[in-house]
Amino acid sequence: MAGENPTASEYIQHHLQNLTFGNHPEHGWSFAHTAQEAKEMGFWAVHVDSLGWSIALGALFVWLFRKAAVKATSGVPSGLQNFVEIMVDFVDKSVKETFHGKNAVIAPLALTIFCWIFLMNLMDLVPVDFLPRLFQVITGNDHAYFKVVPTTDVNVTLGMSLSVFFLIIYYSIKVKGVGGFLGELTLQPFGKWMLPFNLLLEGVGLIAKPISLALRLFGNLYAGELLFILIALMPLWAQWVLSVPWAIFHILVIVLQAFIFMMLTIVYLSMAHEDH
């Protein structure tokens, strides 16, 4: 931790700090040992823990679904096959009810988004000290930073939302053409005589899509993680009294935020395919 007997503030700050690797002005390429060092590394510093857990959980999702597909049978299905079929049917139904265009990419994309975000959110249920402390023991550094919930890192949520944003732009231009896309930004809703106002209004609305996607997911999971950290500061009996009910309630948040991100992605891409 931050010290032998960290204060509540030090404990919280330590748990909210990422394991950061970057080019420090004085120390060169290295891991940050303090929050100040991480800040001094600048924009191109990498949150190794967030990136590592994101990739690992994405690989877990691919492995589980591929395993279910390879071992799929028309006879008595396994528990994993049942789960995968339920997930696929659920996402497929959501896409059919919401997406009004024709695009074979949307359903696999929606499935990936939902399952990947769900797995990342699910890490919030791991006791807040377990994996960070295990990492400190393995590295031999009792002060090492280590966050395990990728969606509590705004860089991760913003990266995902920007990917969706680029798909919105791509399909808007592909379906409507450059002229049609620019026409939507400049000629609606008040016609060509209000072009600057239209551009401002529609531009803000377009940019707000990825920002709202990122901040909604980040804010809800960050708040949940912070509450778990605050509970961990309490006496042991209070931790049991408060953490179990909060964990049960937080399961709803974990699922709901993954579902909202998926559904908004489908809605935004559906709008991108609508050629007026």
Query: Known catalytic residues?
Result: 212, 216, 220
Cα separation, 108 vs 33, whole angstroms: 40
DSSP string, 180-193: HHHHHHHSTTT-GG
- Reference 169, options 206, 129, 224; nearest CA is 206
Cα separation, 129 vs 135, whole angstroms: 10
Helices (H), the chain: 8-15, 35-40, 48-70, 79-98, 106-122, 130-139, 154-186, 195-232, 236-272
CA atoms within 13 A of residue 127's CA, in its CB half-sphere: 9
Cα separation, 231 vs 5, whole angstroms: 17
**Look-up: residue for tokens 């994101």?**
54
By the 8 A CB rule, do 172 and 123 touch? Answer: no
By the 8 A CB rule, do 41 and 23 touch? Answer: yes
Q: Quick count: other Cβ atoms within 10 Å of Cβ 117?
A: 26
Strands in 20-24's sheet, in edge-to-edge order, are 28-31, 20-24, 46-47
Cα separation, 160 vs 265, whole angstroms: 10
